[in-house]
Amino acid sequence: MRDALRVLLLPKLFTARARMRSKERGRGARTAVLAVIGGVFWMFAFGVLHRLLAYFRGVPEIGPLLAGKLLGLILIAFFSILLLSNIITALSSYFLARDLDLLASAPVDWLALYSAKLLETCVNSSWMVVLMAVPILTAYGTVYDGGGAFIGLAILTFLPFLIIPAALGSAATLVLVNAFPARRTRDILSIIAVIAAAGIVVLFRLVRPEKLARPEGFRSLVDFIAVLRTPTSPLLPSEWVGRSVMGWLTGSLDLLPIYLLWSTAAASVVLGALLHRWLYARGFTKAQESSQQWAREGWMGRAGRLVLSPLGSARRELVLKEVRIFFRDTTQWSQLILLAVLVVVYVFNIKFLPLTGEGITFFIVNLVPFLNLALAGFVLASVAARFIFPGVSLEGRTWWLLRASPLPIRELLWSKFWVGMVPLLVLALAIVGVTNSLLRVSTFMFVVSVFTITLMTFALAGLAIGFGTMFPRFETENAAQIPTSFGGLLYMMSAVGVIGAVIVLEARPVYSYLSAISFRGGEPPPTAELVLGFGLAAAVCLTATFWPIRIAVRRLEALER
Amino acid sequence: MIQLRSLTKRYGSFTAVNGVDLDVPRGELFGFLGPNGAGKTTTLRMIAGILRPSSGTVSIAGFDLTSDPVAAKQRLGFIPDRPFIYEKLTGTEFLRFVAGLYGQSGAETERRGRELLALFDLEEWQDELVESYSHGMRQKLIISSAFVHKPEVMVVDEPMVGLDPKAARTLKDLFREYTRRGNTIMMSTHTLEVAQSMCDRIGIIQRGVIRACGTMDDLRASAEAGVSGLEEIFLRLTGEGLARELVEVLDA
C-alpha cells in the first residue's frame, strides 16, 4: 500500500519539480514580482492585524475575548472556503482528471487511490488558505508572546483542520456524482459555489459588522460580553482551532480541542475511505456519462444573426460563437450571479453614505461621485479580468482552426474586444448612473462621470485583451482560474495604474471648476485647464485601448501552437 | 497548387524540417509518409499557415502564404490529426462558424453544411453539443467543416484515425471525387494500404528531409531490387528494422 501510494504521488511531485526547474523565458522576473507582491500582502495583513491585536491586548477583560472572536470569524470563513474548494477540487481529482483512465485500468489498490487523490485534493484546495493563515497566526503569536513552541501548536492544530474538510468534501462529491453525471455535477457545484459565495457576501453586508465596533449599541456591557463569550459554533473544527490557539496564547491550554481535531480528522478519513470503497467504482462509471444537451436555433439566434449581419459573416459568427459558448458554460455565466451581488453591495454602500447634515458641503457632495469613479473603475477592472482577460486563452485548443482560416488576427482580437466591451460599458453606465442619482450629483459631475467611465471602460477592455494575449494560459480549461495567473495580476496592476492616472489628471480641472462654481460665484470656469486635463485623460485611455491590442496582434501573429 | 521551396523549421538547435522542396500539381492526391517525429505534421502545419517557417516559402494556388496569407488560406482546407473543437457549439453551429471564417453564409452554405453532415451520418447529432460527440464523430465534423467553404487545396493530417469503416470508405470516395474534379490533396498517413491504393504520388520524409518522392513505380526503383509493397519500400527507405528486437523485447 505504501509503495502504491508512492507510485501514485511521484508523477505529481515530478511535475511540480519540472515546473520549478523550467527555463521558461522571464520566469525569474515573474517569480520575483510574485514574491514581492506576496511579501507586501503578508506584511500588510500582519501589520493591520498586529495593530488591532495590540490594541485588544491593552483592553482588560474584553481584549482576549475580542481577539478570540476575531480569530473564530476568520477560521469559520477559512473552513467554509476549504469545504467548498475541496468539494469542487475533488470532482476534478477523483472523477475528471486525465490520469484516471490509466489508474482505473491498472491494478491499483483502492485505498492507495483514495489516499493519493485525497492528498492531491487537500493540497490543491488548501495552499491558498495556508498562505493567508501564516501572517494571521504570526500576528497572534507575536502580540500574545506565543514563543517558538507556538509554531508547533499552530501546525498541530492546522493540519487536522485542513484534513477534515478534504475528507468531508471528497465524500460529498462522491455522493453527488453517484446521484448525477459528473459533468452535470460540475455544473451544479459551480452554481452552488457561486450562490454560496454570493450569500456570504450579502449576509456579511446585511449584518453590517461595523455595528459590532460600537459597543454603545448594546443594552449593557454584560450583554456585549455575553455575545463575545458565546462560542460561534461549538461543533465546528474552526472553533476547536480557535480555542486551542487562544488557550495557548492566554496560558490556559485545553487539550480537548486538539484531541477533537485529530480524532475527527481520523474518523473523517476512515469513513471517507469506506464510502470510497463502497461508491467509487459506481460513481466513476457514471462520471463517464455525458449529459445530452441539444440546442436548436430559435428566434433569438435568428434575430441575433439578423442584427449582426452588417458586421459581415466572419465577425458575426465570431460574436455569436462567443455569446453561445458563454451562456452554455455554467462555470462562466454562473459568475454573473456573483457579479450582480457585488454590484448590489456596491450600490447599497453608496446608498448608506452619510451625505446630508452638518459639515457636508456642496463640494464634498460632488467630490464623492468623483472618487466613486475610481471605485467603479476598479469594479469594472475586476469584471474585465474575469470575463475579457481569459478570451484568448480559451481559444488555445481550437487555435489551429483560427490560424488556418483567412481571418486576420486583428479582426479576431477586435471582435473579442467589442464582445467584452459593450456589456462592460452597459454595466459601467448603469453603476455610475444609479450611484450618481443616489448621490444627487450636479449636471457637471454627471457629464464628467459618464465621459470618464466610458473612456475607462474602453481602456480596461483593451488592457484585458492585450494582457490576456501576452500572458495566455492555453492549457487551462477552467476560465475562472485564468485571471488568477501572473498575467492577470499584471493586468490588474496596469488597470489600477490607468484608473489612478485618469483620476489624477481630472482631479485638478474638476477641483478648479467646482471651486469657481461654489466659492467664487460669477468667475468663469477654467476652460483651458478643463480641456487639458480631460484631453490628457482621454489620451491615456485611448493609448491603453489601442496599444495593448497592437502588441497583442503582433504576439498572436508570431504564436506557434 | 502546393509549392514548397527550401522549407525549413527549426526549434532551437533541433531542425524538424530541413530544406524541403515539393510541388503538388492540381488534381493530385499526394501521400506524405514518414516515421513518428519525421517532420510530417510540422510540414503540414506550415502549409496550413499555423506554424511559420524558419526559412523557405509556401505557396498555395499561386499565392505566397507569408506575403498574401488571406488569399492563400481562402483556398485551403485543413484537417488536423487531433479533433479539438468548441465543446459548447452544436455540429450545425460549428459548420456555420467555420463557413463564416471563410466569409461564407446564406442558404447555399446551409444546404452544403446539411449535406456534409448527412454524408458522414451526423444528421441525427447536428443539434447536439460537440461535448457529447465521440472522437470519431468529432473527426467527421472537422472533415465536414474543412469542405464547407469549397477549398481548392486540402491538407490532411492522419484522416483515418478514429473513423468507423463506413466513414473511412466515405472519406476515400470523397477524396477521389474531389481530386477528380481538379482539386488537390496533400495527406499524411501511417496506413500504408490507404496511401498505396489512393495516392497518385507519395513522398517519404525522415529526419526532416524528403528521402524519396514519386509514384509507386518510382519508389520501387529507389528501393533495392525485389521489393514490391509500400510497406517494404517504406521500411527499406527509412532503414527501420522490424523483427530486429522483437524477440529480445518480448523475452526481456
Give the structural domain span for B248: 1-75+154-162+182-252
**Whether residue A264 is found in the same domain as residue A410:** no
**Option in A293, A316, A560 nearest B132 (CB):** A293
The reply to whether B27 falls in a domain is yes
Position A341: which residue type?
V
The reply to whether A26 falls in a domain is no
Q: How far apart are CA A295 and CA B126, in angstroms?
A: 9
Inter-chain CB proximity B88 and A329 less than 8 Å: yes
**Whether residue A374 is found in the same domain as residue A263:** no
Who has greater pLDDT, A118 or A181?
A118
Instruction: Kindly list the residues from chain A whose CB atom is less than 8 angstroms away from the CB atom of residue B89.
Output: 321, 324-325
Q: Residue B68 above 60 pLDDT?
A: yes
DSSP-assigned letter for residue A311: G
**Whether residue A488 is found in the same domain as residue A392:** yes
**Average pLDDT value for residue range A517-544:** 83
Residue in chain B nearest A309 by alpha carbon: B105
- Supply the CATH number for residue B158's domain: 3.40.50.300
pLDDT, chain B, mean: 87
**Average pLDDT value for residue range A297-323:** 84
Concatenating the DSSP letter of every residue in A181-235 gives -HHHHHHHHHHHHHHHHHHHHHHHHHH-GGGGG-GGGSS-HHHHHHHHHS-S-TT
Q: Does B71 touch chain A (CB under 8 A)?
A: yes
pLDDT in tens, A191-244: 777 777 777 767 666 655 555 555 555 556 666 666 666 656 778 899 999 999
Secondary structure of A93-117 in HEC code, one letter for each residue: HHHHCCCHHHHHHCCCCHHHHHHHH
Q: Does A322 touch chain B (CB under 8 A)?
A: no
Q: Residue A6 above 90 pLDDT?
A: no
The reply to whether A273 falls in a domain is yes
Give the structural domain span for A551: 343-558
**Average pLDDT value for residue range A367-371:** 78
Range in A68-77, A186-195, A480-489, B194-203 the model is least confident about: A186-195
Inter-chain CB proximity B49 and A404 less than 8 Å: yes
- Per-residue confidence (pLDDT) for residue A283, from 0 to 100: 87
- Per-residue confidence (pLDDT) for residue A485, from 0 to 100: 82
- Per-residue confidence (pLDDT) for residue B224, from 0 to 100: 67
> What total of structural domains would you count in chain B?
1
The candidate with the shortest Cα–Cα distance to A236, out of A53, A91, A125, A82, is A82
pLDDT in tens, B36-57: 888 999 999 999 998 989 999 9
| Separation in Å, CA of A187 to nearest CA in chain B | 13
**Option in B70, B90, B97 nearest A408 (CB):** B70
The reply to whether A358 falls in a domain is yes
Q: Does B80 touch chain A (CB under 8 A)?
A: yes
DSSP-assigned letter for residue B158: S
- Per-residue confidence (pLDDT) for residue A483, from 0 to 100: 84
Q: How far apart are CA A329 and CA A483, in angstroms?
A: 17
**Whether residue A265 is found in the same domain as residue A409:** no
**Average pLDDT value for residue range A4-29:** 76
The reply to whether B169 falls in a domain is no
The reply to whether B13 falls in a domain is yes
Q: How confident is the model at residue A278 (pLDDT cuts 50, 70, 90)?
A: very high
Determine the 3-state secondary structure of A419 from DSSP.
helix
The reply to whether A370 falls in a domain is yes
Q: What are A55's three cell numbers? A: 490594541
pLDDT in tens, A460-517: 999 999 999 999 888 776 677 788 788 888 899 999 999 999 999 998 888 888 777 7
Q: Does A408 touch chain B (CB under 8 A)?
A: yes
How much of chain A, in percent, has pLDDT values that exceed 70? 88
How far is the CA of A45 from the CAs of A36, A38, A48, A146, B250, in angstroms?
A: 14, 11, 5, 19, 62
Q: Does A379 touch chain B (CB under 8 A)?
A: no
Q: Does B132 touch chain A (CB under 8 A)?
A: yes
Instruction: Kindly list the residues from chain A whose CB atom is less than 8 angstroms away from the CB atom of residue B58.
Output: none
How much of chain A, in percent, has pLDDT values that exceed 90? 34
Inter-chain CB proximity B49 and A403 less than 8 Å: yes
**Option in B84, B86, B92 nearest A325 (CB):** B86
| Separation in Å, CA of A332 to nearest CA in chain B | 12
The candidate with the shortest Cα–Cα distance to A498, out of A377, A383, A347, A367, is A377
**Whether residue A352 is found in the same domain as residue A283:** no
pLDDT in tens, B112-157: 999 999 999 999 999 988 988 888 899 999 999 999 999 999 999 9
Residue in chain B nearest A319 by alpha carbon: B97
The reply to whether B174 falls in a domain is no
**Whether residue A256 is found in the same domain as residue A356:** no
Residue in chain A nearest B101 by alpha carbon: A314
Spatial contact of A528 and A493, defined as CB atoms under 8 Å apart? no
Q: Residue B216 above 60 pLDDT?
A: yes
pLDDT in tens, A252-261: 888 999 999 9
- Per-residue confidence (pLDDT) for residue A213, from 0 to 100: 53
Q: How confident is the model at residue B4 (pLDDT cuts 50, 70, 90)?
A: very high
> What total of structural domains would you count in chain A?
2
**Whether residue A224 is found in the same domain as residue A111:** yes
Between the ranges A284-293, A320-329, B88-97, B161-170, where is the mean pLDDT highest? B88-97
- Per-residue confidence (pLDDT) for residue A227, from 0 to 100: 61
Inter-chain CB proximity B88 and A328 less than 8 Å: yes
Q: What are A5's three cell numbers? A: 501510494
**Option in A295, A405, A561 nearest B73 (CB):** A405
Instruction: Kindly list the residues from chain A whose CB atom is less than 8 angstroms away from the CB atom of residue B131.
Output: 183, 290, 293
Inter-chain CB proximity A296 and B132 less than 8 Å: no
Q: Does B128 touch chain A (CB under 8 A)?
A: yes
**Average pLDDT value for residue range A402-426:** 92
The reply to whether A293 falls in a domain is no
pLDDT in tens, A103-156: 888 888 889 999 999 999 999 889 889 998 999 999 999 999 888 899 999 999
| Separation in Å, CA of A288 to nearest CA in chain B | 11
Q: Please provide residue B56's backbone torsions phi and psi, each rounded to the nearest 5 degrees.
A: 90, 175
Q: How confident is the model at residue A47 (pLDDT cuts 50, 70, 90)?
A: very high
How far is the CA of B41 from the CAs of A55, A395, B44, B70, B188, in angstroms?
A: 68, 21, 5, 22, 8
**Option in A294, A405, A560 nearest B101 (CB):** A405
Q: How confident is the model at residue A521 (pLDDT cuts 50, 70, 90)?
A: low
Q: What are A490's three cell numbers? A: 499584471
The reply to whether A154 falls in a domain is yes
**Whether residue A177 is found in the same domain as residue A268:** yes
Inter-chain CB proximity B104 and A328 less than 8 Å: no
The reply to whether A25 falls in a domain is no
Q: Residue A364 above 80 pLDDT?
A: no
Strand order in the sheet with B55-60: B14-24, B2-11, B55-60, B63-64
Spatial contact of A514 and A363, defined as CB atoms under 8 Å apart? yes
